[in-house]
Copies of this chain bind each other. A is one copy, B any other.
Amino acid sequence: MPEDPSPAIAVSTVIFRVHREQEGERGHLELPLVRRVRQPYLGRWALPGGPLHPTESLRDAARRNLRETTGLDPRHLEQLYTFGAVERSPSDRVVSIVYWALVRDDEAERARLGENVAWFDADQVPELAFDHDEIVMWALKRLRAKVGYTRIAHALLTDEFTLADLRGVTEAILSRRLDAANFRRQVEASGTVEPTGRFQAGGRHRPPALYRSTAQEELLR
Binding site for B on A (CB under 8 A): 4-9, 51-52, 54-58, 79, 81-82, 84-86, 93, 95, 97, 149
In the bound complex, residues from chain B placing their C-beta under 8 Å from that of A56 are: 86
Q: Are A97 and B84 in contact (CB under 8 A)?
A: yes
Secondary structure class of chain A's binding surface, majority of residues: loop
Q: Taking the full assembly, how many copies of this chain does it contain?
A: 2
Contact A82 B82 (CB under 8 A): yes
* Distance of A141 Cα from B53 Cα, bound (Å): 30
Cβ contact within 8 Å between B93 and A54: yes
Are B84's CB and A81's CB within 8 A? no
Bound CA–CA A7/B97 (angstroms): 13
Q: Which chain B residue has the least Cβ–Cβ distance from A88?
A: B57
User: Please, which residue of chain B has its CB at the minimum distance from the CB of A7?
Assistant: B9
Chain B nearest CB from A186 CB (Å) reads: 16
Shortest Cβ distance from residue A35 to the other chain B in the assembled complex, whole angstroms: 25
Least CB separation from A81: chain B residue:
B79
Which of these, B4, B79, B95, contacts A58 with CB under 8 Å? B95
Assess whether A9 is in contact with B95, with CB atoms less than 8 Å apart: yes
Closest Cβ of chain B to A130, distance in Å, is 16
Given contacts A56-B86, A79-B81, A84-B58, contact A6 B9 (CB under 8 A): yes
A220 to chain B, nearest CB (A): 13
Contact B79 A57, beta carbon cutoff 8 Å: no
Q: Is the CB of A57 within 8 A of B85?
A: yes
Given A9-B9, A58-B82, A149-B149, 20 further pairs, Cβ under 8 A:
A5-B54, A6-B6, A6-B8, A6-B9, A6-B51, A6-B52, A6-B54, A9-B95, A52-B84, A54-B86, A54-B93, A55-B86, A56-B86, A57-B86, A58-B84, A58-B95, A79-B81, A79-B82, A82-B97, A95-B97
